[in-house]
Amino acid sequence: MPKTKTYVDPARIHVIAPNFKQRLSGVTSTIIQLVPVQNRLGQKVAVLGPGLPAHLPHLRFRDLWKLWRRPEGADHRIWHARRNIEMLPGILMRDLLRMPLKLVFTSASQRKHSGWTKFLIRQMDAVIATSAKTAQYLEVPNTVVMHGIDCDRFRPADDKAAAKRACGLDPDLRYVGCFGRIRHQKGTDLFVDAMIALLPSHPGWSAIIAGRATPQHMAFEEELKAKAAAAGLVDRILFVGEHKNIDDWYRTLDLFVAPQRWEGFGLTPLEAMATGVPVVATDVGAFAELLAGGGPDVGTLIKSDDLPIITGAIKAWIEEHARYEQQLSRDHATGRFAIENEANRLGEAYGLHLDRSN
């Protein structure tokens, strides 16, 4: 049976995180991961909208009239929007209904905004960019707060062979992985083509593709499976589907590849590094900023949409793999990108006086 949602009294809430999109997305995932951490840090956050797990503290739409009252311990609330559809209601509640709200918007977009989006952004009290690259597309003052990850969940395996067995893999093989949505934008085809070129001459390695193809991309996925089969590698290029325990699958890897052609931010390299897995990533999204300072033993940043370069970078890691230490990748991720760092930076951006004793 589905769990009953946990509803909270708006009087005790300082920050509202609306989520007005039913389908799971990167934005939704960010909210799901961040809100419990923010609450542990005393920020008193509740979510509003569909598509969010029951364990998060929820507000009811029918209780929104209570936002006219100031919250306990503060003179306003934060309405933290992450989409246009969430900025607009905040503007209406603040400016038309005169509710005591301050509006914050987080942008992950790395393209020019439409005129409508620019208008909405100009109405915000504060704007956050998820990377320095994203900040370049904003025409208003902003603060960069990079995403973080749960470094307790994404951690190296105590016994790598056992981790591989638990996922039904051969413990005597090394694995290179590519995780995320299966589609052209994500470069899944580049990964498959690189594996077809490399695996025949590296018998100790296999490849894992974890993630799902949405209906409009299923034909693309089938073409990739057919290509692997035609190369005689159906047993070494494994399409394992989407898994909720993706952290277990990261623990099976010896190398991770993020071959995206375009990306808004991209958490998968962080998840891999926190698990002690080195990374080959294209120069899109925030990948350059995620790898910056890690050094050559943590990852390689390469040009996007260039199969020979991607193949060469993967080949170099495979052939030199024995000299790399997983702790270097782990230390880089935990030192700079723990999700607690993101939550603390958001608290600073909100500018609220938060009572951490409650």
Band of residue 24 on the pLDDT scale cut at 50, 70, 90: low
10: CB partners within 8 A, 6+ apart: 46, 59, 63, 64, 66, 67, 69, 71
So what's the pLDDT on residue 331? 94
Q: What share of the chain is helix, strand, coil (3-state, %, to 5)?
A: 40, 15, 40
**CA–CA distance from 122 to each of 166, 278, 338, 340 (Å)?**
50, 40, 30, 29
Distance CA 36, CA 46 (A): 9
Full-model pTM: 0.88
Residues with Cβ within 8 Å of 286's Cβ and at least 6 positions away in sequence, in order, are 130, 131, 133, 134, 146, 147, 263, 265, 266
Cβ atoms of residues 206 and 237 within 8 Å: yes
- The chain-wide mean pLDDT, for the chain, equals 93
> Which of 238-252, 268-282, 310-324 is least confident?
310-324
Chain segment 105-160, per-residue pLDDT in tens = 999 888 899 999 999 999 999 999 999 999 999 999 999 999 999 999 999 999 99
Domains by residue range for the chain, with CATH: 6-148+339-350 (3.40.50.2000), 160-336 (3.40.50.2000)
Characterise 264 by phi-psi region: left (phi > 0), alpha (psi -120 to 50), beta (else): alpha
pLDDT tens digits for 34-83? 999 999 999 999 999 998 999 999 999 999 999 999 999 999 999 999 99
* Bigger pLDDT: 233 vs 21: 233
